[in-house]
Amino acid sequence: MTSQVRSAYWRGFRAGVPFLVVLIPFAMVFGVVATEAGLSVAEVLGFSALVIAGAAQITALQLMQDNAPVLMVLVAALAVNLRMAMYSAALVPHLGAAPLWQRAVIAYFNVDQTFALAQAEYEKRPAMTVPERVAFFLGVATPVCPPWYLFTWIGAVVGARIPPELALDFAVPITFLAIIAPALRTLAHVAAALTSIVMALLLVWMPSGVGVLLAALAAMVVGARVELWLEARKA
């Protein structure tokens, strides 16, 4: 491992550490909610390790508590997680040349935090080599993903003994605000964000996850159109 690759890894590690502030309570909330829904500690850990996507896991649990059919639970969770397909497509130009096994590991750890920080870093440092990009991504994943498992387990074990006054559920919206806010750097980004908010509110009546997915697609279209308009104005 070259010094540049090591440097990229530790740069990613340092970038990912601040997310622990909101990730820890988020993971504990899931552990508590999952045990309250009737899952065993082993099932909770398996859920987090296999899915590793907080929003989809919470959505699935809510439907399970409502005694929704298994097919509906699976479809809703997949709908919420379809944004990961968009993340993967966005990372292909940066990581597509990496070996297959590395791309498989990256695909598993491709969550909101790792994608957002990696994408921002790749845009800021376009001269990075593929090994450096892989190292940065895995550096971000190191303080983000293992603690997700650990604190999910703690939440499952401690469960109802966590005082409600702590209001751990604050971590869910704060996590996404921390991811999105630094990315709003241009008019296109702001237009996409506003479009997603408006569309998500208008489509709130749709089944879980579907409205969010449609809002995301509308935001992508608007953001792309605004970016093309800005480039045309410059020309």
Residue 32 CA, chain-centre distance (Å), reads 20
**What stretch of H or E contains 172?**
helix 171-180
Cα–Cα distance, 140 to 111 (Å, whole number): 10
36-45, 66-75, 155-164, 193-202: which has the minimum mean pLDDT? 155-164
Determine phi and psi for 99, rounding to 5 degrees.
-55, 155
Whether the per-residue pLDDT at 201 is higher than 60: the answer is yes
Contacts of 81 (CB under 8 A, 6+ apart): 51, 53, 55, 56
Mean pLDDT of 92-100: 92
Of residues 28, 31, 51, the one with CA closest to residue 40: 31
C-alpha 194/C-alpha 222 separation (Å) is: 10
Distance (Å, rounded) from C-alpha 152 to C-alpha 148? 6
Cβ-in-10-Å burial (0-12, 13-18, 19+) of 5 comes to middle
112-145: per-residue pLDDT in tens? 889 989 998 998 999 999 999 999 999 999 999 9
With cut-offs at 50, 70 and 90, classify the pLDDT of residue 177: low
In the chain, count H helices and then E strands.
12, 0
- pLDDT above 80: residue 194: yes
**CA–CA separation, 138 and 91 (whole Å):** 14
CA dist., res. 148 & res. 143, Å (int): 9
Choose between 42 and 233: higher pLDDT: 42
For residue 112 the two structure tokens come to: 């909101």
Dihedral in degrees, nearest 10, Cα atoms 40, 44, 46, 51: 150
Q: What is the pLDDT of residue 165?
A: 54
Pairs from 61-70 (Cβ < 8 Å, separation ≥ 24): 61/30, 61/33, 61/34, 61/37, 62/208, 63/208, 64/37, 65/37
Q: Looking at residues 38-43, what average pLDDT do you find?
A: 86
